[in-house]
Structure 1
Amino acid sequence: MLQPQILRNRVKSHLLLQIQKGELQVGKTINLASLSRKIGVSVTPIREALSQLEQSRIISAIPNRGFVVTQLSRKEAKNLYETIAQLEIMALESSNFSEDDISLLRKRQLDLQQAHTPFGRLQARLQFHDLLVRNCQNAVLLQILEELKTRLLFYEQGFGNDSTFYENVDNQNEAVIQAIEENNVPTAALILKMNWMVVLEYVESRMKSA
């Protein structure tokens, strides 16, 4: 029999993949029985996994409705992106990069440019940022970043359809890589912050027009 933690992680992985693909929509109630049948896990670990996601503000428990994907707001978006930017800068400033690390960043940047679906572009963009901070030794900081970025997925659904947005992202990513190659971490951190603020501005403009 699988351990409870393994079952919870299976549920979380399934739900996070649905979020990334845009299949789990904001405001949607999560049907526990249906989810149990779909992934072959009992309701108990599903409730435990949903409770963990609730702590990350990804879903909310609403009386008489159950677990619902939390609504988006411009205030939350501003807080979310500004916090992620600051945490990534902290992680970047405490990291060292080898030639192999830089090669991986360039490969991920190429993956982003060559991705042809919204899901693929979103994955490549977030993986690029994960590579930027993976050498940070502060495990608590990285865990917080991971949880925050899960919520961020809801704000970025559909970005892959906007070529202008990704052109700006490509230019900034390249500038970050170049600064790291030159061992100029302060410049890399500044561009990284600009990158997140550009994304925030784009999110806010989309929410205004929605």
Structure 2
Amino acid sequence: MKAREPIERPAPLRAAVYQRVVDLVATGEVEPGQAVTEAELSRSLGVSRTPVREALLRLEAEGVLESAPARGFSLRPLSPAEAAELYPILGALERLAVSTSPPGTLDLAALRALDTELLAATDPVRRWHLDTAFHDTIVAACPNASLRAMIHALRVRVTRYELAYMRDGDRESHSAPLHARILTAFGEGDREAAADLIGRNWDGSHTMVLNWLEGGK
């Protein structure tokens, strides 16, 4: 595994290592079935093995990695069956997050700025980062920490599908029209409409990704 930029320390090391491993998985640097070991990651990231082990175990618990005796961990393959399970759950949870967020807690200016950047972006990885930030900004307004944690765990798993599809199947942003309507609903203070549109956004992604996985792209 190639050397990567060392993780800077005053940020909480455990969280920084976890996020770096998530990025490696999401961006395709770690491929399905590829062995991932504590030793390789600790060398490439320039950190001790303890936070790496914690990150790998967390990702195994979240359903992203699987472990095998004497092989360490490997990335689970993409599958239509898993996608069909994950997308409806994520859509329902984000709808709930929006509907239970107190009025005035959403950073609407930041959300609009992210959408503007997303519309202009063409690189799949950049678009993934911006789309993730768009949804994270929405979910951050929800006061329910347990709900936010559940959404985060699902987002990590769904991200692999989203980015793989963006790279291979989606040359244009299919969510742009819905994002515009979501922003309008938030701007008008209509959380019910915004929650419904968030759900429709994930439903659309689900359909397109599933068609792509099944060869109908």
Q: TM-score, normalised by structure 2?
A: 0.86
State the match for 2:213 in structure 1: 207
Q: Over aligned residues, Cα RMSD in angstroms?
A: 2.3
Quick one: which of 66, 91, 103 aligns to 2:97? Answer: 91
Q: Deviations over 1:3-48 (max 9, x none)?
A: 9x94433331221121232212122110332212111223333222
SS in 2 for 1:131: helix
Q: Deviations over 1:101-147 (max 9, x none)?
A: 22211111001011231111011111111111211110010011111
Distance 2:70 2:41 in 1: 18
Judge conservation of contact 2:60–2:66 (CA < 8 Å) in 1: yes
Judge conservation of contact 2:165–2:212 (CA < 8 Å) in 1: no
State the match for 2:3 in structure 1: none
Q: Which runs of 5+ in 2 are unaligned?
A: 1-8
State the match for 2:192 in structure 1: 186
1:16 and 2:22 matched: yes
State the match for 1:64 in structure 2: 70
Q: Equivalent residues in 2 for 1:55-204 (5 A)?
A: 55-98=61-104, 101-161=107-167, 162-164=170-172, 166=173, 168-204=174-210
1:52 and 2:39 matched: no
Q: Deviations over 1:40-91 (max 9, x none)?
A: 2233332222111111011011123220111222121111111111111111
Distance 1:123 1:54 in 2: 22
Judge conservation of contact 1:15–1:24 (CA < 8 Å) in 2: no
SS in 2 for 1:23: coil
Distance 1:125 1:23 in 2: 20
Q: Which runs of 5+ in 1 are unaligned?
A: none
Distance 2:198 2:55 in 1: 32
State the match for 1:25 in structure 2: 31
Structure 1 position 148, deviation (Å): 1.0
Aligned residues: 206
State the match for 1:37 in structure 2: 43
Structure 1 position 100, deviation (Å): 7.3
Q: TM-score, normalised by structure 1?
A: 0.89
112-121 or 155-164, larger mean C-alpha shift: 155-164
Judge conservation of contact 1:97–1:180 (CA < 8 Å) in 2: no
* C-alpha distance 81-99 of structure 1, shift in aligned 2 (>3 A): closer
Q: Which amino acid aligns with 2:139?
A: V
Distance 2:42 2:186 in 1: 46
Judge conservation of contact 1:26–1:72 (CA < 8 Å) in 2: yes
Distance 1:44 1:135 in 2: 33
Higher helix share goes to which structure?
Answer: 1
Q: Which runs of 4+ in 1 moved over 4 A?
A: none
SS in 2 for 1:157: helix
Judge conservation of contact 1:111–1:124 (CA < 8 Å) in 2: yes
